[in-house]
Amino acid sequence: MRRSVLDQRWAGYVAAALSVGALTLLLKTVGAHVNAATVSVALLLNVLFVATRWGSLPALAASILAMLCLNFFFLPPFGTFTIAAADNWIALLAFLITAVTAGQLSASAKRRAEEAEAGRREIERLYAELRDAFGRASHAEALRQSEKLKSALLDAVTHDLRTPLTSIKASITTLLDEVRRRVDSEGPVALDAESRVEMMEVIDEESDRLGRFINGLIELARIEAGELQLRRRWGAVDEIISTALSRAEPITRNHRVELDVEKELPGVRVDERAVSEVVYTLIDNATKYSPGDSTIRITARRSGDDLIEMGVEDDGPGIPIDLRARVFDKFFRATRDGDVRSRQPTGTGMGLAIAKGIVEAHEGKIWIESGRNGKGTRVLFTLPIGDDEVIEEPRYSAATVEMQ
């Protein structure tokens, strides 16, 4: 803050001298016979003014000056510093004491007010600092949380990569070991043809599992970046379901599949490949989490004026209510992370997260309910019945735009 000229200490003394001088002159010109009491009060006010504006020392100077002026100009005999009447001595002394005291008091009141103001400003400054510190702390906390999340995801990913890798490595070294022993004719070779094929099957299946996992990661990353590109066309719900079912044929052999599709469903404007992927994922989960020979029901019906509701239901152990939202989180598995007793799932932990991404990109919703009679799991999702609006171009996400 820049201090003005008037704030300088010397300005106080100058102001004291000038104001007392000016006031004296004014009073003198107004009339030679102004009452000394009036003059005293006016001068006193002047002292107070100097005190509140410039503090105690200029006020003291003003007091003394005012006393001299009062004596010289307004107490008889005029024009001298001598005083004739004794009571005027008393008046002058009283004036001086009053002026000095009032000046000092008001100056100190001013000082206190200033100190209070400075204190208030200091508190404000501290508060702002504290608020900044809190801001920084909560930012650090958010970062820490996000780091924690990242490391949990990393754990899940490394587990899902390492598990198939472990089987592959163990299989391949078993085969290698046998070949080496055969070459070195070291000892009995006890890997029969069947076992060799089994080891190679494991390698084959586990390589596929790694591939699926990596594809899932890519798809998920795409959904999260908002870069899922839907190719929307008019399609029929029953065709979407039958595409998914024929793809799921090898995995549903041990289950009974029941279809419950409402007749004369309106067409939907969706990305058929993506939606059939959702249905396939739900069927795949149903086969994994329900006993063989149980029934999997696939349903489709109209819901309200503008929605189609599709669902896949199984007779498995079901998912506890508190885990139903979390199963859509990536890498979350109710059996592993939620301690639901069941056989080990062989999924990637990404299927439902991807399904959710696809459904939401179609402005639909996906959720979980209990199956019939409160048993099993029913996963339902909605798709809006397509309007005539053309959405043929790929959707550009904010991220894509920023990168351009």
Partner 1 sequence: MTNPTRILVVDDEPQLTRVLRTGLKSRGYDVRAAADGLAGFETFNDWHPDLVITDLAMPNVDGLELCRRLRAISQVPIIVLSAKGEEKTKIEALDLGADDYVTKPFGIDELLARVRASLRRANVAAMNEASDTTLDSGDFHVDLETREITVRGKSIHLTPKEFDLLVYFIKHSGKVLTHRTLLAAVWGGNYVEQNEYLRVFVGNLRKKIESDAASPRYILTEPWIGYRFDPGER
- Backbone CA torsion sign across 183, 188, 194, 200: negative
Phi, psi of 219 (to 5 degrees): -65, -45
41 versus 152: smaller Cβ distance to partner 1: 152
Q: How many CB atoms lie within 10 A of CB 38?
A: 12
Taking the complex as a whole, the smallest distance from the CB of residue 334 to partner 1 amounts, in Å, to 11
Taking the complex as a whole, the smallest distance from the CB of residue 403 to partner 1 amounts, in Å, to 34
**C-alpha to C-alpha distance for 308 and 248, rounded to whole angstroms:** 22
168 versus 282: smaller Cβ distance to partner 1: 168
**C-alpha to C-alpha distance for 50 and 53, rounded to whole angstroms:** 5
31 versus 292: smaller Cβ distance to partner 1: 292
Contact 312, 282 (CB under 8 A): yes
Taking the complex as a whole, the smallest distance from the CB of residue 172 to partner 1 amounts, in Å, to 8
Taking the complex as a whole, the smallest distance from the CB of residue 319 to partner 1 amounts, in Å, to 15
Interface residues with partner 1 (CB under 8 A) are 155, 158-159, 162-171, 173-174, 177-178, 188-191, 195, 198-199, 202, 205-206, 335-336, 339, 341, 343-344, 346
- The single residue listed with the structure tokens 């959405």 is 391
- Backbone CA torsion sign across 129, 135, 140, 141: positive
Q: Is 374 left (phi over 0), alpha (psi -120 to 50) or beta?
A: left
8 versus 173: smaller Cβ distance to partner 1: 173
User: Which value, in Å, is the radius of gyration of the alpha carbons in the chain?
Assistant: 46
CA angle in degrees (0–180, nearest 5) for 275-338-212 = 40
Alpha-carbon distance values, 258 to 50, 216, 292, 298, 309 (Å): 99, 28, 14, 6, 16
Beta strands 295-303 and 256-261 are: parallel
188 versus 250: smaller Cβ distance to partner 1: 188
108 versus 344: smaller Cβ distance to partner 1: 344
Q: What are the residues whose beta carbons fall under 8 Å from the beta carbon of 258, sequence distance 6 or more? A: 295, 296, 297, 298
267 versus 338: smaller Cβ distance to partner 1: 338
Q: What is the length of the chain?
A: 404
Taking the complex as a whole, the smallest distance from the CB of residue 190 to partner 1 amounts, in Å, to 4
Taking the complex as a whole, the smallest distance from the CB of residue 255 to partner 1 amounts, in Å, to 19
Structure tokens at 140: 């650090």
242 versus 335: smaller Cβ distance to partner 1: 335
178 versus 238: smaller Cβ distance to partner 1: 178
Contact 276, 301 (CB under 8 A): no
205 versus 360: smaller Cβ distance to partner 1: 205
Taking the complex as a whole, the smallest distance from the CB of residue 198 to partner 1 amounts, in Å, to 6
Taking the complex as a whole, the smallest distance from the CB of residue 202 to partner 1 amounts, in Å, to 5
Beta strands 268-270 and 256-261 are: unpaired
Taking the complex as a whole, the smallest distance from the CB of residue 162 to partner 1 amounts, in Å, to 6
Closest CA to 315 of 338, 341, 350, 288: 288
Residue type, 181: R
**C-alpha to C-alpha distance for 231 and 226, rounded to whole angstroms:** 15
CA 45 to chain centroid, in Å, comes to 60
Taking the complex as a whole, the smallest distance from the CB of residue 154 to partner 1 amounts, in Å, to 9
Taking the complex as a whole, the smallest distance from the CB of residue 254 to partner 1 amounts, in Å, to 16
169 versus 372: smaller Cβ distance to partner 1: 169
